[in-house]
Structure 1
């Protein structure tokens, strides 16, 4: 059992609305007000980050909520500096809640003389005094092994399964899950199993990074309501192209469920003009005003899952129980 009365939450600037939503959900679960620790996170004129914690955290179990999304380097440094401030203030335990783990796409050497940046970031996080990491849908599962501290990796597929069952309940028998590449088959298969749907794959070949030369659909998508499933959507070029190819192969309509909506550059404009009927993302990355205004982009919340996961870590109970739809459904009651 914990030594403190309640877990304490602290947030950087990466995704303050999500941190506040997590605090509200935890307040509901605990039956008492849980607020973010009063903190000042600011920058000096030369860009240096400064953190000051205004509350006593000695002996407390601290949870830092901070995605390392754009600007990735600034948000990563905020996380590290907050951890150092808490460690030097005698916090009992520091857990980093990183809804979107940046640098995860650099998980291996793709050619000679390139870094494995995900491993470097893992070393920095552990070196800052963080003792546990809670994240969602790591781009590569092996990143958990880069850490010498416990890592809990949550999955968005149970949330997506609830959403799909709600929005496609009248045509669920015609739904087909599609993986946008061979590497994402395991993720797509997991969601397909949850809703008892068939699986198709888009095989893509790249001439160079960011440019797709050829796409082939493996599986019969004719007359199906196709749902593309992936963990990250950055510029949306590949996603929109995959949707076009699927429609050309006879699909009735195409939707996409993506965990982390990076949506940089021309992404929102491409999605708005694409053949995709809808794109569903989570709020692991704070959405921009353009994303919120896009007519075919919808955001599902992760706060209920993260709030329960934090409480489970704090009380020493199972986090993997949140992978079970029956356990998750009551937490998301009223959202779908």
Structure 2
């Protein structure tokens, strides 16, 4: 109140909060932004129900909720929905769900009768809860963006991988090649090959069931070369290990692998440890299990990418500029 008249504070306010899915990543993002995570009380009751309450006012704030949908997937998803609803009911100005790993992304279409499209269902739930924007990394298929009716910031770890493999001496190397582990990753492999100025090849496989496939042949020349396989997700590791064995039979001297999301389900850690793969490079969209063998796994952080994107969204600047216009891989 000033001279008997109401005045309005138009200064924007940014708040970063974390669910329990991967709080370490949220801390890294907050550190890059030179901020503290805002307090939130998260409780799991003995009966399994979840509860969330913000410990400070979110009224009028742009609230970015960071929650990677890692194990336990369904619990972390439900917690995200509850946190969105709590922020909405507390009058947050804008709610952005930051989901580095979008679970259920492989269930993006029907392949058999009477199947669900669960990736779409998850999108519907996030919208219904009250989010107004989603930020995510390297979706399994780009069509998932279209499941939302509001803006989706589809980010990529491509430049993170490029920088790393340049450091490892792959750029312009005469003895190196980039390989797509299946035809679905050809565009990504071609883009990585373009940045490293390398040729590319394809491993052709036949899928026998969920997480089961057989490598049939290699399209392209890998003999006498160091190979970099690029994928979006490493699940059980079976496809990766089988492809590496076939590439060695075709004459590859070394096999490296890279993927944005290291899910490493089942006995994936042991498979990779016992394989002929030299190194597996993943990002920290998902936490690694500390009780598993990880000597061949290298983790790169995507916290700088997420922090820069959060900053640009908050200040209404271009997100594409963060990636020099190359954040659309599909």
TM-score by length of structure 2 reads 0.93
Cα offset for 1:69?
Answer: 1.7
Does 293-302 or 112-121 show the bigger shift? 293-302
1:267-290 CA distance string (max 9 Å, x none): 000000001000000000112104
The residue number in structure 2 matching 1:294 is 294
Which residue in 2 is equivalent to 1:313? Answer: 313
- The residue matched to 2:33 in structure 1 has which SS? helix
1:86 positional shift: 0.4
CA distance in 2, matches of 1:148, 1:86: 20
Name the counterpart of 1:142.
143
**Inter-partner Cα distance in structure 1 for 2:175 and 2:161:** 17
- Conservation of the 8 A alpha-carbon contact between 2:170 and 2:176: no
SS at match of 1:230: strand
The partner residue of 1:8 within 2, 5, 15 is: 15
Kept after mapping to 2: 8 A contact 1:4/1:59: no
Q: By how many angstroms is 1:214 displaced?
A: 3.7
Gaps of 5+ in 1: 28-33, 328-336
On the 8 A contact 2:96/2:135 being kept in 1, the answer is yes
Which structure would you say has the larger Rg? 2
Asked whether the 8 Å contact 2:165–2:171 carries over to 1, the reply is no
CA distance in 1, matches of 2:237, 2:248: 17
The 1-side partners of 2:59 and 2:285 are apart by 29
**Superposition TM-score, scaled by structure 1 size:** 0.91
Q: Are 1:225 and 1:254, in contact at CA under 8 Å, matched by a contact in 2?
A: yes
| Alignment CA distance shift 1:270-1:120 (3 Å) | same
- Note if contact 2:13-2:60 (Cα within 8 Å) is conserved in structure 1: no
Question: 2:59 aligns to what SS in structure 1?
Answer: coil
Aligned partner of residue 172 in structure 1, secondary structure: coil
Q: State the secondary structure of the residue aligned to 1:231.
A: strand
Q: After the TM superposition, which residues 1-336 of structure 1 pair with which residues of structure 2 at under 5 Å, given as runs?
A: 3-27=10-34, 34-168=35-169, 172-290=173-291, 293-324=293-324
SS of the residue corresponding to residue 289 of structure 1 reads coil
- Mean Cα deviation higher: 138-147 or 170-179: 170-179
How far the C-alpha of 1:325 sits from its partner, in A, is 9.4
Structure 2: which 5+ runs fail to align? 1-8
Supply the distance in 1 between the matched residues of 2:77 and 2:326 (Cα, whole angstroms).
35
Whether the 8 Å CA contact 1:260–1:282 is kept in 2: the answer is yes
Q: Equivalents in 2 of 1:198, 1:127: separation in Å?
A: 45
State the shift of 1:246 in Å: 0.5
SS of equivalent residue, structure 1 residue 257: strand
Q: What per-residue deviation string (whole Å, max 9, x for no partner) do you get for residues 241-286 of structure 1?
A: 1011011100110000110000011000000000100000000011
Aligned-residue CA RMSD (Å): 1.8
SS in 2 for 1:168: coil
